[in-house]
Amino acid sequence: MSFSYLDNNAGAGLADGVLDVMLPYLQQQQGNPSSGHRFGRYARAALDKARQQVAKLVNAEPSQVIFTSGGTEANNQVIAGVAERYDSGKVLVSAIEHPAMLEPARRLQKQGFELEMIPVNEQGLVEPATLAELIDADTRLVSVMWANNETGVIQDIAALAAVCHDKGVPLVTDAVQAAGKLPIDMKATGVDMLTLSAHKFGGPKGIGALIVSKQLDWPAFVLGGGQEDDKRSGTENVASIVGFGHAAEHVLTHLPEYQAHCRRLRDQFEQHLKQLPGITIFAEQVERLPNTTFFALQGFDSDTMLMSLDKQGFAVSSGSACGTGRQTPSHVLTAMGIPDPIALGAVRVSVSQQNTVEEIEQLGKVLEKEANRFTHLLNR
């Protein structure tokens, strides 16, 4: 049986050439970038190049890039920085953030800070006027993700950054799902901090970055030998950073083809879905990532559907990988006001450049069979 991997928002494979550029740093180039000898200098040069490549992906300066162990750590550094910088105050976090932002924010709350959730509208968007009303003199930080991992909904980050700047509060955006799928411009949008994860767009797992605007001196999270300009200690994961840099350059070069291919598959898939009885496509009315469809079919819970599709050769997800196996509805859908019985059936299909029209056709047919089976049962 052939198998279709349609869970690219959870983890995409390595992009062309990434493994090749990493291998020398796992084999003969064993130098530590902090060493003064030539092996150290080779490793340092490799880090410098990757830093430029990653900075270019988001239109930032290389000196703004802090390499971390992934998106989760980068988000933790942002939130923990609030407690490091201030004795008290409030953070505003959108209700649809990934747990990698929500959980550190909840810990901050336990440490005595105020945590307020920014609501979203029924399409999953944070409205600038709503945000403006919530910011007050105690607000230390606002966090709104660039694109949501479950629905794919893209926020108007420039408008939200403008609201924050108007009030003199920094905005962090988790761009883990947006990078490699959309043009990201830190300078043009005025975002103050941005987090990335390599494995969502063709780099290896376990590497990411926090990118901080020059005006902001954000505190370190991991302390030690002072690497990454004292902002993230620990010997750098050279091979993975090199792979991250290469993946960043690769996606930037291929973004138009990627978007066109994924959008074609996504639109074709949604045309199929729309023929099915009892279908809901979440956030269909607003701009979404070109590769993501989040939907529910009446009569199916997510886990049953996932298992059935897995048996039939399709790897899809119920939303965030961390949330798989849950019996509670997605907090993202709940925040959008989706009733529990529908939200509990949510299934995410996220495609990549590697997926084909045929795979999507096949999945459409399988879902049609499932939907008809349910309607048949209902009508008996």
Using rule CB under 6 A, residue 237 touches ligand PLP: no
Which of 322, 324, 342, 361 is flagged as catalytic?
A: 322
CA distances from 58 to 53, 69, 157, 198, 333 (A): 9, 18, 13, 13, 28
CB of 324 to ligand PLP, least distance (A): 11
CB nearer to ligand PLP: pick between 14 and 100: 100
CA–CA distances in Å: residue 47 to residues 40, 50, 226, 227, 314: 11, 5, 15, 12, 38
Candidate ranges 70-78, 130-138, 260-268, 276-284; the one touching ligand PLP (CB under 6 A): 70-78
Q: How far is the CB of 176 from ligand PLP (least distance, A)?
A: 4
Q: Is 293 in the site for ligand PLP (CB under 6 A)?
A: no
Smallest distance, ligand PLP to C-beta of residue 197, A: 3
Site string for ligand PLP, 27-66 (x = CB under 6 A): ----------------------------------------
Contact at 8 Å (CB) between 46 and 25? yes
Binding mask 145-184 for ligand PLP (x = CB under 6 A): x---x------------------------x-xx-------
Per the CB < 8 A criterion, the answer to whether 316 and 6 are in contact is: yes
Give the DSSP letter string of 229-283.
TTTS-S---HHHHHHHHHHHHHHHHHHHHHHHHHHHHHHHHHHHHHTSTTEEETT
Q: Which of residues 308-337 bind ligand PLP (CB under 6 A)?
A: 320-321
Side-chain half-sphere CA neighbours of 76 within 13 A = 13
Query: Does residue 77 touch ligand PLP according to CB under 6 A?
Result: no
* Adjacency order of strands within the sheet including 114-118: 65-68, 208-212, 193-197, 171-174, 139-143, 90-94, 114-118
- 322 catalytic? Reply is yes
Of residues 42 and 221, the one with the C-beta less far from ligand PLP: 221
Q: Which residues bind ligand PLP (CB under 6 A)?
A: 70-72, 98, 100, 145, 149, 174, 176-177, 197, 208, 320-321
